[in-house]
Amino acid sequence: MNNTTEHGWFASCPKGLEALLAHELSTLGAESTRETVAGVYFDGALATGYRACLWSRLANRILMPLGRYEVADADALYAQLQTIAWDNYFGVEQSFAIDFSGQSQEIRNTQFGAQRSKDAIVDWFRSATGQRPSVQKRDPDIRINIRLAKSRIVVALDFSGGSLHRRGYRLQSGEAPLKENLAAAILLRADWPAMAARGGALIDPMCGSATLLLEAAMMSADIAPGLARERFGFEAWKGHNKAQWAAIFQDAAGRAQRGRAAQLPEIRGYDADPVVIRRAQENIARIGLEKVVRVSCKPLAELQKPSHMPLPLGLIICNPPYGERMGEKESLRYLYRQLGEVMLREFSGWQGAVFTADVELGKATGLRSYKRYALYNGALPSSLLLFDLANNQIRGSKPGAEDSTVAGGELSDGAKMFANRIRKNKKRLSRWVKRENIQCYRLYDADMPEYAVAVDVYGENLHVAEYQAPKEVDEEAASRRMAEVVAALPEALAIAPEAISYKRRQRQRGLRQYEKEDSRGELNSVREGQARLLVNLHDYLDTGLFLDHRPLRLRIAKEASGQDFLNLFCYTGAATIHAALGGARSTTSVDMSNTYLGWLRKNLAHNGLGETGNLMVKANCIEWLAQAEQKYDLIMLDPPSFSNSKSMDDSFDIQRDHLSLIEATMAILRPGGTLYFSTNRRSFKLDDSLPQLLRCEDISRETLDPDFQRNAKIHKCWRIQHATD
Q: Are strands 39-44 and 7-12 parallel, antiparallel or unpaired?
A: antiparallel
Provide mean pLDDT across the span 239-255.
97
Query: Using H for helix, E for strand and C for coil, what is the string for 538-573?
Result: CCECCCCCCHHHHHHHHHHHHHCCCCEEEEECCCCC
Greatest alpha-carbon pair distance for the chain in Å reads 110
Do 463 and 450 meet the contact criterion of CB atoms below 8 Å apart?
Answer: no
Provide mean pLDDT across the span 196-205.
96
Provide mean pLDDT across the span 574-594.
97
Domains 180-221+264-388 and 518-725 share a fold: yes
Provide mean pLDDT across the span 40-64.
97
- Determine the pLDDT at residue 518: 56
- Is residue 401 scored above 60 in pLDDT? no
Of the ranges 218-227, 476-485, 516-525, 605-614, the best mean pLDDT one: 218-227
- Determine the pLDDT at residue 391: 84
Q: Is 297 exposed, middle or buried (0-12, 13-18, 19+ CB in 10 A)?
A: middle
User: pLDDT (tens digit, 9 = 90+) per residue, 474-532?
Assistant: 777 788 888 899 999 998 998 888 889 998 654 444 434 434 555 667 899 999 999 99
- Is residue 407 scored above 50 in pLDDT? no
In the chain, % of residues over pLDDT 90: 78
Q: Are strands 586-591 and 564-568 parallel, antiparallel or unpaired?
A: parallel
Beta-carbon count within 10 A of 549 CB: 25
Bigger pLDDT: 403 vs 656 = 656
Q: How confident is the model at residue 405 (pLDDT cuts 50, 70, 90)?
A: very low
Bigger pLDDT: 426 vs 322 = 426
Provide mean pLDDT across the span 687-700.
95
CA 86, CA 68: separation in Å to the nearest integer? 15
Provide mean pLDDT across the span 154-159.
97
Do 689 and 701 meet the contact criterion of CB atoms below 8 Å apart?
Answer: no
Provide mean pLDDT across the span 45-67.
97
Do 316 and 352 meet the contact criterion of CB atoms below 8 Å apart?
Answer: yes
Provide mean pLDDT across the span 430-440.
96
Do 194 and 265 meet the contact criterion of CB atoms below 8 Å apart?
Answer: no
- Determine the pLDDT at residue 588: 98
- Determine the pLDDT at residue 569: 97
- Is residue 180 scored above 90 in pLDDT? yes
Do 420 and 412 meet the contact criterion of CB atoms below 8 Å apart?
Answer: no
- Determine the pLDDT at residue 4: 55
* Residues 6+ away with beta carbon under 8 Å from 117: 77, 78, 81, 98, 100, 144, 146
- Is residue 660 scored above 90 in pLDDT? yes
* Residues 6+ away with beta carbon under 8 Å from 401: 460, 493, 494, 495, 499
* Residues 6+ away with beta carbon under 8 Å from 521: 536, 539
- Determine the pLDDT at residue 643: 83
Q: What is the mean pLDDT of the chain?
A: 90
- Determine the pLDDT at residue 332: 83
Q: In the CATH hierarchy, which fold is given to the domain comprising 518-725?
A: Rossmann fold (3.40.50)
- Determine the pLDDT at residue 95: 97
Q: How confident is the model at residue 700 (pLDDT cuts 50, 70, 90)?
A: very high
Q: Class of 180-221+264-388 per CATH?
A: alpha beta
- Determine the pLDDT at residue 470: 64
- Is residue 637 scored above 90 in pLDDT? yes
Q: How confident is the model at residue 397 (pLDDT cuts 50, 70, 90)?
A: very low
- Determine the pLDDT at residue 406: 32
User: pLDDT (tens digit, 9 = 90+) per residue, 110-131?
Assistant: 999 999 999 999 999 999 999 9
- Determine the pLDDT at residue 436: 95
- Determine the pLDDT at residue 438: 96
Provide mean pLDDT across the span 292-298.
95
- Determine the pLDDT at residue 473: 64
- Determine the pLDDT at residue 564: 98
Domains of the chain: which residue ranges?
Answer: 7-158, 180-221+264-388, 398-506, 518-725
Read off the amino acid at residue 337: R
pTM beyond 0.85: no
- Is residue 163 scored above 60 in pLDDT? yes
Domain 398-506: CATH superfamily, name plus number: RNA methyltransferase domain (HRMD) like (3.30.750.80)
CA 463, CA 461: separation in Å to the nearest integer? 7
632: Cα separation from own chain's centroid: 27
CA 651, CA 676: separation in Å to the nearest integer? 23
Q: Which helix (H) or strand (E) element contains residue 369?
A: strand 369-377
- Is residue 395 scored above 90 in pLDDT? no
- Determine the pLDDT at residue 521: 76
Do 74 and 117 meet the contact criterion of CB atoms below 8 Å apart?
Answer: no
First to last CA, the chain: 81
- Determine the pLDDT at residue 325: 42
Helix 180-189 with 18-27: angle, nearest 10 deg:
90
User: pLDDT (tens digit, 9 = 90+) per residue, 627-636?
Assistant: 999 999 999 9
User: pLDDT (tens digit, 9 = 90+) per residue, 552-583?
Assistant: 999 999 999 999 999 999 999 999 999 999 99
Helix 574-581 with 550-559: angle, nearest 10 deg:
30
- Determine the pLDDT at residue 102: 93
Provide mean pLDDT across the span 127-144.
95
Provide mean pLDDT across the span 287-313.
92
Give the CATH number of domain 7-158. 3.30.2130.30
